[in-house]
Structure 1
């Protein structure tokens, strides 16, 4: 049973079986249900922040290969390829589904340069940003060091996943 707002509650999350927990939370970290699997043992959670921290800890302490797979699981921004429903909604909210042809071309070229340099797509929490903010951010970040950019990408994933958990469970 959901709360009156239609959202799940932490109480519901805390009593779920592991398969249900992973089914509900497995998409919070893009195509990486292993993050939810790792956080399951840390129940019960008293706050959404505590749940989020547990999930970030699983992702942040993962082996390098697994972390890289998490980074690579994210779609290019403004891609015309199929993306997860959560990513699609986030990108539409930032106007990336309404790019002019020249904006789409520039973003596609910047995405390609970024991915070639870092080995994973450009990741940005787009909530509250518009297409100009996004294009400006990728222009700036493509010139960073690999170490700095990997840390920034993980920070952005933390922001994205916090928004997703708040959408699912509400903000505290």
Structure 2
């Protein structure tokens, strides 16, 4: 865990390296958020990072969404994604469950052009599966917005797991 005070005093380069994976394979979010320091809380840092994403060009947002792995896939992914998916039971799917996820993920990707994003922390594989079934019926505009909201949730979980605020030290 990192102390918020130390994070505020890091060089921009070290700050970006330290928080570069908060938004999956997208260190540009941390790099752009660094200019808003100092942060008085993890929530304030999270809001700054969300603002960076909100104000990014649509192409960058799409690239951010596409940087995420399909849920339930058996591929190499970031340590954070591995832990999150394991917590929801997505790394231990039966063959039948794996094929069901794979089929729905393929259908979702074909329809929207980006992977299904769901903040899995505190959820079960059934929660994820049921959400995937529901959301595949959404419009592309709805799903683009939902995906970014879910990515922001994931980033918030990751920040809270990584940073200690001074009051807690």
- TM-score, normalised to structure 1, is 0.94
- Equivalent residue runs for 1:50-65 within 5 Å: 50-65=44-59
In structure 2, the residue matched to 1:3 is none
- Equivalent residue runs for 1:1-172 within 5 Å: 7-170=1-164
1:170: how far off?
4.1
The residue matched to 2:91 in structure 1 has which SS? helix
Cα distance in 2 for partners of 1:100, 1:88 equals: 17
Cα distance in 1 for partners of 2:74, 2:90 equals: 10
1:97: how far off?
1.0
Q: Which runs of 4+ in 1 moved over 3 A?
A: none
Note the residue ranges of structure 1 that are not aligned, 5 or more in a row: 1-6
Provide the aligned C-alpha RMSD in A: 1.1
Note the residue ranges of structure 2 that are not aligned, 5 or more in a row: none
Task: Tell me which of the two structures has the higher relative contact order, counting C-alpha pairs closer than 8 angstroms and 6 or more residues apart.
Answer: 2
